[in-house]
Amino acid sequence: DSGVTQTPKHLITATGQRVTLRCSPRSGDLSVYWYQQSLDQGLQFLIQYYNGEERAKGNILERFSAQQFPDLHSELNLSSLELGDSALYFCASSVVSSGGAGTGELFFGEGSRLTVL
Amino acid sequence: AQRVTQPEKLLSVFKGAPVELKCNYSYSGSPELFWYVQYSRQRLQLLLRHISRESIKGFTADLNKGETSFHLKKPFAQEEDSAMYYCALTGGSARQLTFGSGTQLTVLP
């Protein structure tokens, strides 16, 4: 499958802990985007990387950080977890860095469901 | 700041009836608007974009800058149209895709 892959699919952890979510973009895509979807919330943009560099930042908490590696996979690190961090975290990728504009269609992964107890 | 509002969380129509999913946006410049769809057990995927002026699966959406709306329409709904629909916007130097909260469409037999 050459689509966007995210691991783990499900993760249960306790408050105060730290987790890492991983995303592999589609083959050839240079941009990676992270979104958070909480209960009753739409998709909230967190951060975008393009070819290893941070390109855009949204409503990402200071407790969260991300990076994109030379092989273009990305990791989202969530630390000092709180109950409110429970959510579905989506990764998306695109060829260009335009955030979806023009021909920059975003291709989404299946998401990582994080539950903080 | 850019903002997308989808006023209906849930929408049910009968098969063969017209359907309209509402989307309003707030953006000071010239936005690009999109509809993304998520069918059951599938990934979120692009349905259509306003710059293409295309009809996909019978759906169309017209950008109305005066009303700042980008409603999604289909004249005759089908059961396979049941899904979660998200309106999204991008524009300006930020180039981030901002999503609405989504509308769950159910087409009843």
User: What is the average pLDDT across B68-83?
Assistant: 96
Interface A–B counts its CB contacts (< 8 A) at: 62
Q: Are A108 and A31 in contact (CB under 8 A)?
A: no
Query: What's the rounded Cα separation, in Å, for the pair B18 and B31?
Result: 27
Q: Are A107 and A27 in contact (CB under 8 A)?
A: no
pLDDT exceeding 70 applies to what percent of chain A? 91
> What is the Cα gyration radius of chain B?
13
3-class SS string, B40-108: CCCCCEEEEEHHHCCCECCEEECCECCCCECCEEECCCCHHHCEEEEEEEECCCCCCCEECCCEEEEEE
**Which among A1-10, A48-57, A83-92, A100-109 has the top mean pLDDT?**
A83-92
Q: Answer whether A48 sits within 8 Å of B96, measured CB to CB.
A: yes
Confidence of residue A103 (pLDDT cuts 50, 70, 90): low
Structure tokens at A71: 């092989």
Instruction: Tell me the average pLDDT of chain A.
Output: 91
| Cβ–Cβ contact A109 with B under 8 A | yes
B44 contacts on A by Cβ (under 8 Å): 90, 92, 108
- Indicate if the pLDDT at residue A101 is higher than 70: no
Q: Which distant-in-sequence residues (6+ apart) come within 8 Å of B28 by Cβ? A: none
A4 contacts on B by Cβ (under 8 Å): 43
- Indicate if the pLDDT at residue A96 is higher than 80: no
Nearest Cα of chain A lies from the Cα of B41 at a distance, in angstroms, of 9
Q: Which candidate from B32, B43, B49 shows the least CB-CB separation from A108?
A: B43
Q: What pLDDT does B58 receive? A: 93
Q: What pLDDT does A36 receive? A: 95
| Cβ–Cβ contact B32 with A under 8 A | yes
pLDDT tens string B5-63: 999 999 999 999 999 999 999 988 888 899 999 999 899 999 998 877 788 899 999 88
Q: What pLDDT does A99 receive? A: 62
pLDDT tens string A45-81: 999 998 999 988 888 999 999 999 999 999 999 999 9
Confidence of residue B90 (pLDDT cuts 50, 70, 90): confident
Q: Which candidate from A58, A105, A109 shows the least CB-CB separation from B96?
A: A58
A99 contacts on B by Cβ (under 8 Å): 90, 94-97
Q: What pLDDT does A100 receive? A: 60
